[in-house]
Structure 1
């Protein structure tokens, strides 16, 4: 969109696709489609990794072991990790998608509400607050794009203001995805850690 803003108008075309969405074609679009496909593949790998760490307690990794049948502390850690993983995967789907419909932002409401309603651990309250602020900022910027300024975005002469807002929204979403992924991996990694380090571990497990 930035490239379209600064390049000649005849280099670009805007049409409604068979999916009833505006589709913009022009220089560089094919490359970004490949980036989107690569991001989707990375998201699938992340989902598999989180599933291994959370559902299987990272079985096979150094310092990890399967939980006992009744382990309240491990269950609480697993539940928190599941919430962060759910949020990271949903944000990842939005960011990696080849389309960004405004209603996608509503997908974040459920996991964010669960994260707060379930009561986060002391060390997770600040990250939960941070991702909520980022999500609300992205939602507000999305509202400025659609429906308030969407005509200027897909018209023959794109507006500089709405393009800037769109870029800002997308950067916030990328930051949100990275932030959620980081905390999801940290929470998932802790699920399978032994609570009683063995004498030959050599160092404390954190």
Structure 2
């Protein structure tokens, strides 16, 4: 008697047998391909950092390690204008001390690698069924975006603490639909580490779940702040350092000044408040304009929240990406590591087929590639000016600006006045799995 063939999905992934993380033989082919690419690409990233010659390795070895030594004494850096982070930033700075058998740089890189691995596994997990297929309405595109985009930044993700912050924000978003209280706790912790993860609760649908998410976010942030205030001195010293920030050379306002230099603007670039900033005529006006744009972006987000009437499973994710994009492009500083945030939130959006942010994710991917051309390849040239570095930074920030406008427009269209084509996306997703590249 002939044996029945093994059931497969419509693109050939076997469904027979239970799917277990501890048994790679049960993993679907797509998960195996992701794991293989992830391992190979991350070896290259670690190799870049391990060489010790990369700027990000020097940053960890000198700056982060210096802060670690101060934090170990029970105080935040006093009088250090480069310490401009909320009190929760002490946690990733102190974390390498959990691995005393490694140097600070080695321990930091190991922790970043582990964070990357857990994040990649979480993205795969939310997309794949235990039987080997895809959840209804879910896509593996987000897992692929994370795997492919992060190495475009070379060794940078493992040399900055933005990776664990992004992972916490992604966890908050992924937990929000089923466990809004726990998702809010993650958002609160992330907000106390680097502020922007608080935006992950913006798109939560109205109702009991939103109240739980917002309340737990506020409660967890306050509790962590109280603990840190008891354990450390000078907990709020970072606020004074933030007041003196100017216009960083890679920001949107800095791009205006980069172009102005080509036409004779007499300003200079100097190390100022922990970053390379423009000093000269009209800089203060541009810095003020950036702050006004940030306020305007916040006002638009509040208006969207008030006017939004239509939610689908992707709306909380889409709203978070839009919010962070708007605050990034209007900021007085756009550092290369900020792209890690946008990659992570774009990846979360792409886990849902009904997301309206797919074109935005492509723009973020392109901006990530141009960012690596900017830093480290053209960074020194950008300090001194010239048409080549100006073209690079205009291209990068142009992509980010386009991504912000497209993101906001599509979010408004789907939640406030949805078009029929976008409204039908969740309905189509319920009919069965459709392969998304």
Q: Output the TM-score relative to the length of structure 1.
A: 0.71
Residue 6 of structure 1 and its aligned partner are, at CA, apart by: 2.6
Question: Where do 5+ consecutive residues of structure 1 fail to align?
Answer: 58-73, 192-206
Residue-pair matches, total:
161
Matched, 1:33 2:287: yes
Structure 2: how far apart are the matches of 1:161 and 1:82? 39
Structure 2: how far apart are the matches of 1:169 and 1:160? 14
| Residue in 1 that maps onto 2:410 | 183
Name which of 364, 388, 397 aligns with 1:135: 364
| Residue in 2 that maps onto 1:173 | 400
Give 3-state SS (helix, strand or coil) of 1:22's partner: strand
Structure 2: how far apart are the matches of 1:53 and 1:141? 35
Residue 90 of structure 1 and its aligned partner are, at CA, apart by: 0.7
Give the 3 Å change call, closer, same or farther, for CA 53–80 of structure 1 in structure 2: farther
Whether the 8 Å contact between 1:144 and 1:162 is mirrored in structure 2 is no
Whether the 8 Å contact between 1:153 and 1:163 is mirrored in structure 2 is yes
Name which of 260, 277, 283 aligns with 1:3: 260
| Residue in 2 that maps onto 1:43 | 297
Deviation string 1:95-135 (CA, Å, 9 cap, x unpaired) is 010011010011112221122112226xx4xx51x212211
Question: Where do 5+ consecutive residues of structure 2 fail to align?
Answer: 1-257, 419-437
| Residue in 2 that maps onto 1:195 | none
| Residue in 2 that maps onto 1:114 | 348
Structure 2: how far apart are the matches of 1:45 and 1:143? 32
Larger radius of gyration: 2
The 5 A counterparts of 1:84-95 are 84-95=318-329
Whether the 8 Å contact between 1:81 and 1:188 is mirrored in structure 2 is yes
Residue 164 of structure 1 and its aligned partner are, at CA, apart by: 0.8
Structure 1: how far apart are the matches of 2:276 and 2:262? 17
Structure 2: how far apart are the matches of 1:3 and 1:188? 39
Name which of 253, 264, 268 aligns with 1:13: 268
Structure 1: how far apart are the matches of 2:350 and 2:298? 26
Q: Output the TM-score relative to the length of structure 2.
A: 0.35
Whether the 8 Å contact between 1:84 and 1:183 is mirrored in structure 2 is no
Structure 2: how far apart are the matches of 1:190 and 1:7? 46
Structure 2: how far apart are the matches of 1:179 and 1:172? 10
Give 3-state SS (helix, strand or coil) of 2:416's partner: helix
Whether the 8 Å contact between 2:343 and 2:365 is mirrored in structure 1 is no
Give 3-state SS (helix, strand or coil) of 2:354's partner: coil
Matched, 1:147 2:380: no
Which one has more relative contact order, counting CA pairs under 8 Å at least 6 apart? 1
Deviation above 6 Å: which 4+ runs of structure 1? none
Structure 1: how far apart are the matches of 2:363 and 2:323? 16
Matched, 1:97 2:306: no
Structure 2: how far apart are the matches of 1:135 and 1:91? 10
Whether the 8 Å contact between 2:370 and 2:396 is mirrored in structure 1 is yes
Deviation string 1:60-93 (CA, Å, 9 cap, x unpaired) is xxxxxxxxxxxxxx6xx34322222111111101
Residue 31 of structure 1 and its aligned partner are, at CA, apart by: 2.7
Whether the 8 Å contact between 2:360 and 2:407 is mirrored in structure 1 is yes
Structure 2: how far apart are the matches of 1:167 and 1:109? 20
Whether the 8 Å contact between 1:152 and 1:162 is mirrored in structure 2 is yes
